[in-house]
Chain A
Amino acid sequence: MEILVCVKRVPTVGGKIAVTPDGQEVDTRMSGFSISPHEECAVEEAVQITERDGGTVSVLTLGPEDAIEQLRGALALGAGRAVLLETDGREFGPIATAAAIAAEVRAHGYDLVLLGNEAADTGDYQVGIRVAHELGWPVATGIKQLSVSAGTLVARREYRGVEEAYELPLPAVVTVKEGINLPRYPSLPGRLRAKRAPVERSAPAWAAEGLRKEALRVPPSSKHQATVLGNGPEAVPELVRVLDEWGIVS
């Protein structure tokens, strides 16, 4: 099994998120970078599949040279090969991103392409599907359980309390969600190997798209600092009164 996992370098946001004064990006002066939880799970899933059935995991990112940090993170978890689709600082939209990924898939040849269900930052919910259409492959999205055997995979997710199972012939594209597995921590030998591993590079073409960002902003919040009802169990009668007022209890 040749598996390609696509990841994206995004700012790590903890307790707060702020925008740069020009409104063009997230202020990262106080934050590090990581990949989204969905993508951590995609890497883990790929590594588990190849540990069981053999094969190689390649990890790909489209981004600036700094995104090699995220490729090395995936290498430390068990990916064997890393590909950087290097950008020149311009933000790629979902159509150009999918075209660049599809070109790498055609050039190298894979049985399975895994992505996160949506990128943490842009939340476009479409790159995996566009990659599948570029390649003419079947695709399943939002997957929480995956089993592979003899050229077929069964992908499962839940929708409104109902389990959906999709059967796809390989090659296929699957986007996964956090919860499909519990990602491992990198081992020390894994980290040492990742440090020395080569990174293959290419520079895909940027193209303008019909959806264009003007500015990012923190939306006005309807919530304010909470009114403290009291301390400990003594505050319970006051809490019940509020629940009453809102019609939560009758």
Chain B
Amino acid sequence: MSVLCLVELDGAEPADASLRALTLARSAGRDINAALFAEAAPEATLASYGVAGAYLIEPSAVEGYAPLAWARALAGLATQTGATAVLAAGSDRGQEVLAHLGAITGLPMAANCTEFRSEADGVHRLVRQRWGGLLAEDAILEAPVALLTVATDAVPGVPAETAAVIGVHVYKPELAEADLHVRAVESPAGAGGASLATARVVIGGGRGVGGADGFAPLEELAGLLGGVVGVSRVVTSEGWRPHKQQVGQTGTKITPELYLACGISGAIQHIAGCAGAKHIIAINTDPGAPILAHADYAIIGDLHQVIPALVAALRER
């Protein structure tokens, strides 16, 4: 059984979310092919994840990101390679392209899967995230070609036991002009710096920060640890910080090594955004705050005293 996986790049290498998708792809079939909208394939990494065929979608056919054209190219490539499953990362682009693919083919699409196995021809069992990952759904998928995206914060990316021998091919998709009408025109975003979604350390601030002017110590700490500041929904609803810094079900899902949650009670919509963190430490005045049920460690106290003390201790080192 052949599986096709859309691989997004982060620079020249596969994005973290795509490595997770490739990992789940190996439980969907034996022959793993990767589709890349790029001029060159990160061959070594793809081979180590078990990819036997890397298909570069001819760059002149699709310039930049055009969701419908990407889906059309995947549809053609899936037919050519005889794929019984097509996967993508549960990223904004992965969800969008696979939804288009579902609409083009009339097939169902299962979003944010964490487990997948085929029972028989066209019959699959899967587990997928609901409620932003707060609930798991056991589901049956009946489709000649399974379309799925892979949760970005649940399945860890793990290389294959034995690397594949990889072949690189160029694929020229058949596109209609209309497929290219909706296209992203890209420009650098306002605020630079590390992205919340991929940051190694996230310093979280919630209601306990007290107001828009209370974030300086958190920013300073984030700077010292090579991280970024993330906030809870109340902080963005109050207008203290821009929405792009929100960690949560309707904000950004994070997967850092450390999430330091300061003055955050731990509403369930926030937990959906930070449950993918490897370690969580909470600083909270309330020992009964729900966030403590999701944290490794906690300090009971006022973040306005603890954070400056932590900054001072780190500066002394």
- Interface residues, chain A, with chain B CB atoms under 8 Å away: 13-17, 19, 26, 36-38, 93-95, 98, 118, 120-126, 129-130, 132-134, 138-142, 144, 157-168, 177-179, 182, 209-219, 221, 223-233, 235-237, 239-240, 242-243, 246-249
Residues of B within 8 A of A227 (CB): 296-298
Residues of B within 8 A of A94 (CB): 108-109
> CB-CB contacts of B259-295 with A at 8 A, as 1s and 0s?
0000001111100000100011110000100101111
A240–chain B nearest beta-carbon distance, Å: 5
A177–chain B nearest beta-carbon distance, Å: 7
A162 to B237, CA, bound (A): 24
Q: Does A17 contact B134, Cβ atoms closer than 8 Å?
A: yes
A95 to B257, CA, bound (A): 38
Q: Which of B96, B137, B251 contacts A129 (CB 8 A)?
A: B96
Minimum CB distance partner of A212 in chain B: B140
Q: 19 A-B residue contacts at CB 8 Å?
A: A15-B265, A17-B131, A38-B250, A118-B111, A129-B100, A141-B67, A163-B190, A165-B187, A210-B107, A217-B135, A218-B135, A221-B275, A224-B293, A226-B296, A229-B297, A232-B302, A235-B306, A236-B310, A240-B317
A219 to B241, CA, bound (A): 31
Q: Does A120 contact B281, Cβ atoms closer than 8 Å?
A: no
> CB-CB contacts of B126-137 with A at 8 A, as 1s and 0s?
000111111111
Minimum CB distance partner of A126 in chain B: B99
A179 to B112, CA, bound (A): 22
Residues of B within 8 A of A230 (CB): 299-300
Residues of A within 8 A of B287 (CB): 228
Residues of B within 8 A of A120 (CB): 131-132, 249-250
Q: Does B310 contact A248, Cβ atoms closer than 8 Å?
A: no
Q: Which of B65, B136, B197, B246 contacts A164 (CB 8 A)?
A: B65
Residues of A within 8 A of B182 (CB): 138-140, 166, 168
Minimum CB distance partner of B256 in chain A: A248
Q: Does A182 contact B130, Cβ atoms closer than 8 Å?
A: no
A177 to B299, CA, bound (A): 34
Q: Does B143 contact A210, Cβ atoms closer than 8 Å?
A: yes
Residues of A within 8 A of B281 (CB): 226, 229, 239, 242
Q: Does A217 contact B138, Cβ atoms closer than 8 Å?
A: yes
The dominant DSSP class at the A interface is mixed
Minimum CB distance partner of B314 in chain A: A249
A230 to B197, CA, bound (A): 30
Place the interface of chain B in its size category: 35 or more
9 more contacts with CB within 8 A, not counting A118-B95, A228-B287, A229-B298, are A125-B149, A141-B99, A142-B92, A142-B96, A163-B189, A179-B236, A179-B243, A227-B296, A249-B225
B189–chain A nearest beta-carbon distance, Å: 5
Q: Does B243 contact A166, Cβ atoms closer than 8 Å?
A: no
Q: Which of A165, A167, A228, A236 contacts B298 (CB 8 A)?
A: A228
Q: Does B299 contact A229, Cβ atoms closer than 8 Å?
A: yes
Q: Does A225 contact B293, Cβ atoms closer than 8 Å?
A: yes
Q: Does A126 contact B103, Cβ atoms closer than 8 Å?
A: yes
Q: Which of B103, B198, B280, B301 contacts A235 (CB 8 A)?
A: B301
Minimum CB distance partner of A179 in chain B: B243
Q: Does A165 contact B306, Cβ atoms closer than 8 Å?
A: no
Q: Does B300 contact A231, Cβ atoms closer than 8 Å?
A: yes
Residues of A within 8 A of B112 (CB): 123, 125
Q: Does A130 contact B103, Cβ atoms closer than 8 Å?
A: yes
A228 to B249, CA, bound (A): 27
A229–chain B nearest beta-carbon distance, Å: 5
B181–chain A nearest beta-carbon distance, Å: 6
